[in-house]
Each structure stands twice: as structure tokens, then as C-alpha cells.
Amino acid sequence: MSALQTREVRRAASKPKPAAPARRPRPLRGNLWVGLLALPAIAFFVVFAYLPMVGLIVAFKEFNVADGVFGSPWNGLDNFRYFFSSGEAGRILLNTLLLNTLFLAATLAAGITLALMLNEIRGRFFKRVAQSTIFFPYFVSPIVISIILQVLLAGVGGSGGAVNDALAGFGLPTVDWYTQPGPWPWILTVVKVWQMGGYLSVIFLAAITSIPEEVYEAGAIDGASRAQMAWRITIPLLRPTAAVLLVLGVGRIFYGDFGTIYAIVGDNGTLFPTTDVIDTYVFRSLRQLGDFGTTAAVGLFQSVVGFILVTAAVLIQRKYAKESSVL
């Protein structure tokens, strides 16, 4: 103990040196001792993040359970060839890009709009209740969302559902939603907005709160209306935050939202033409066909393209917004 104490005193005494005050030299042994605290998490990452990366060699193998990951025979690029010649690849990739683009654009727009609107509300209590309410769907399991959709679109007993009742009320023809693939990209987009709108509005509202008050006072003196202030002051100042979220979203554009889409669509084949994305495809072929090789090949393809996109996105974002870099 006293040794440590004197060491501390000596260090305090040698402080006047201006070089890097935050990085005081410490004995490596002490550092390793602290480093032990990271051990459980490191073990987790090794087993559940890095070992599966090694396991990706299955993509180049004709996998069979008896021989295992390392014993199964290699088959070169056959798995990739099989997927890309299956005729489904184009549709799945297109769906993934299209749906994620829709989700990204719609949720960001909804988040900004909600934040701007929340910012206008002055009653503190109402504002808090409003924020809590619209944030809530974020915490609901995709399965629950799927049940809600069934109630709305098909009715609990298959009797038409709330949306069809409303359509009939306006004298419009009703739709058998679960057999029509056409509207589903839009339905899923609405679901995404409902699910993520409140979450994103919290982020944007935090950004709005950090805008200095004087900017608005200046605007008020110049006679700007609230709408003009929102359009000409708030939105331009939200651009960096939006850019970060946009770039991150673009980076992840190759990863479908597996949970929500699978929970809603499930194994309903009639909806696949517009809703099947890489993740749902991978999951299905793994569970139903047990085709490990091809599935791993698709996964590897997704990871590599995803990695390129994320890296590009982070680099671009670093270049344009140095002060708010992610990672």
C-alpha cells in the first residue's frame, strides 16, 4: 500500500511536465490486473463473434453434420454458384435493398417530423406523456406487432379486420391483405415508422434541445413564425445528426430487419415476392432445407458486402462530420 502511495506522490510531484497529463505511465502488471475485468466480455466476443467468423469456411464446403465444420469436403465456389443461379438471388437482393431504403427514408422523416412537433408543445406534462406514448412501440416484441397487424388487417376470427371495416365504411372495396404481395412493402414501412418513429424522435429532440436559444431569439426578432424557425433553423441544424443516422442506416442496408419481417410474414409464401429478404431467406433455407453450405455462402456474401458498405459509410461520414464521428 505504502509503495503505491509513494508512487502516487512521486507522480503528483512530477506533474508539471505538460506532456499528456491523461496518460500517466503505469506499470504494465497493474494494467493487466485491471484488464481482467474485461475478461468475461472478451470470452464472449471470442466465442460468439470471432469463432463464427472462422465457421464461415462452411460456405466453401459441402457440409455434413458427421464430418463437422472442419472435416467436411471442400467444394470451392459451388455454394455461391448454386445461390446465384437459383433465380431467387436477384429478387431477394432487390427486396432487401428496396425495403431497407424505404424503411430508412420513412423512419428518418417520421423521426424528424415528430421531434419538430414535440418541440412545439409547451405543456410539460403533455409533452412528457406524448413522448412516452410514441416511444412505447419500440419496446414491443415483433411477435406482438404481428398479432396487432392480424387484428387490423385480417380480423381476429378472419372476419376482415379493422382496416377493411373502415374501407367498407367509406364504401371502398375490401382487400384480402394476406394474399396480396403488392401492398406489403408499404405495410411494412408503416409498421417500421410506427415502431421506430418515437425512438428516433427522442434522438432528434435531444439534438434540438442542444441548439442554443439565441438562434431562435434572433429569429423571433426578425419576425420569423414558428413554422419558419422549424424549417429554416431547426432542420438545417439537425443535418449532422440526420447524416450520422443516415450513414449508419446505409451501412446496414444489406441486413434485412429479420425479426419484424419474419414475425409478420412467417412462412406465408404468397407474400415472398415482395417481402423475402436475405435474412429471411437464409433462415428459411437453414430450417427447412438444412442446406448449411448454401446458407453460409449467402451469409458470407451478405457480411462482405455489408462490411464494405459500413466501412465506406463510416469513412464518408468521418470525412464530412469529423466532430461527431461514430466509432
Partner 1 sequence: MKTVKKRKLEPFTIVSIIGVGFFMVLCVIPFWMIISGSFTSESKLATTGYSLIPQPFSTTAYEMIFTGPTVAEAYFASIFITVVGTALSLAATSGIAWVIARRLPGISRPIAIFAYLPMLFSGGLVPLYLLVTQYLHLQNSYFAVILPLLVAPFLVFIQVSAFRQLPEAILESARIDGAGEWRIFFRIVLPLSKPILAVVGLFYAVHYWNEWFTALLFITDVHKYPLPLLLQNLIQNVSFSQMLPTSAGQSPPVYQLRLALTAVTIGPILLAYPFAQRYFVKGITLGATKG
Rounded Cα distance, 120 and 47, in Å = 49
The grid cell for 281 is 431467406
Q: Which is nearer to partner 1, 33 or 172 (CB)?
A: 33
**CA-based torsion, 72, 73, 79, 82: positive or negative:** negative
Q: Is 166 in the site for partner 1 (CB under 8 A)?
A: no
Q: Is 23 in the site for partner 1 (CB under 8 A)?
A: yes
Among 97, 102, 109, 147, interactor with partner 1 by CB under 8 A: 147
Among 150, 181, 243, 249, interactor with partner 1 by CB under 8 A: 150
Q: Is 207 in the site for partner 1 (CB under 8 A)?
A: yes
CA angle at residue 255 from 254 to 261, to 5 degrees? Answer: 125
CB of 27 to partner 1, least distance (A): 11
If one counts every other C-beta atom within 10 angstroms of the C-beta of residue 55, the result is 14
DSSP designation for 234: I
Considering only residues 242 to 271 of the shown chain, the ones binding partner 1 according to CB under 8 A are 258-259, 262-263, 266-267
CB of 324 to partner 1, least distance (A): 7
Q: Is 292 in the site for partner 1 (CB under 8 A)?
A: yes
Rounded Cα distance, 196 and 198, in Å = 6
CB neighbour list of residue 63: distance below 8 Å, 6 or more residues apart: 69, 72, 292, 293, 296
Among 109, 146, 249, 316, interactor with partner 1 by CB under 8 A: 146
CB of 207 to partner 1, least distance (A): 7
CB of 182 to partner 1, least distance (A): 23
Selected range binding partner 1 among 91-99, 101-109, 161-169, 172-180, rule: CB under 8 A? 161-169
Residue at 173: amino acid letter: P
Considering only residues 80 to 139 of the shown chain, the ones binding partner 1 according to CB under 8 A are 113-114, 116-121, 130-137, 139
Q: What spatial distance separates the first Cα and last Cα of the chain, rounded to whole Å?
A: 38
The pair phi, psi for residue 61, each rounded to 5°, is: -130, 160
Among 13, 16, 17, 48, interactor with partner 1 by CB under 8 A: 48
